[in-house]
Amino acid sequence: MRERFVAQGVDVASSTPEAFAALIRAEIPRWRELVKRSGAKAD
């Protein structure tokens, strides 16, 4: 899988589950604001 991701230009990094959870928590407000501004709606 790593080779397939790299071939598609994805940066692959390993981490702990706790670090990944912290990343997700940090990203939610950012994306929430962008979606809100865009006016996008879930179907």
Number of independent structural domains in the chain: 1
Residue 14 pLDDT: 85
Can you say whether the dihedral through the CA atoms of 22, 31, 8, 42 is positive or negative?
Answer: positive
* 29: in domain: yes
* 41: in domain: yes
Residue 2 carries which side chain, given as an amino acid letter?
A: R
The pTM assigned to this predicted structure is 0.56
State pLDDT tens for residues 12-22: 888 999 999 99
Residue 12 has, within 13 A of its CA and on its CB side, a CA count of 9
Task: Give residue 36's domain range.
Answer: 13-43
Residue 26 to residue 43: CA distance in whole angstroms: 25
Residue 35 to residue 30: CA distance in whole angstroms: 9
pLDDT above 70 covers a percentage of the chain that reads 100
